[in-house]
Structure 1
C-alpha cells in the first residue's frame, strides 16, 4: 500500500498526539500537553500531602501505561487495515 495508507495515518495520529522537545542532539518525546497537566496536578497533590507519593506514582504509571497501550492499539489497527 502507499505511504498514505492506514498505517501511516495511525502513525500520524500517534505523533500528532505527543510533544517533542529537542535539546541539541537529544530528542525527548513527551505526552500531550493535557496529559502533562494531569501528571503535574497529581504531583502537586502529592507535594501538598493531599495524596501519598506511592499513590501518585501508581496513578502516573497507570496513566502512562494506558497512553502507551492506546498508541499500540492504533498502530495495530492501521496494520490490520493495510492487510485487509
Structure 2
C-alpha cells in the first residue's frame, strides 16, 4: 500500500470541510458562512415552528444554537483527525 504524505491527509480534510458549505462576502458585514441546504432547512423549520407558535422563540433559539455548536465541534474534530494523520 502506498504511503500518503501528511499534506495529502490535511488536504483531504480541508476538502471535506469546504464541501460542507460556502461563504459570501457582504459589503458591511464581511465574510458570512452559508450553511448546507439541510442545515438551512433545519433552521427554517425552527423559525416556522416558532412563528406558528408551536414552540416558544427561546426554545427555537436554544435548539438552533445547540445545532450550530454541534456542527462547529464536528469541524474541530475533523481538523484534529487531519493533524493526527499528519503526525503519524
TM-score by length of 2: 0.84
Please give the secondary structure, in 1, of the residue aligned with 2:53: coil
Q: Deviations over 1:26-55 (max 9, x none)?
A: 332121111011101100100110000110
Task: Tell me how many residue pairs correspond in the alignment.
Answer: 83
TM-score by length of 1: 0.88
* Residue 56 (structure 1) aligned with residue 60 (structure 2): yes
Q: Is there any run of 5+ residues in structure 2 with no aligned partner, and where?
A: none
2:82 is matched with which residue?
78
- In structure 1, how many angstroms separate the alpha carbons of the residues matched to 2:6 and 2:76? 21
Q: Is there any run of 5+ residues in structure 1 with no aligned partner, and where?
A: none
**4+ residue runs over 4 A deviation:** none
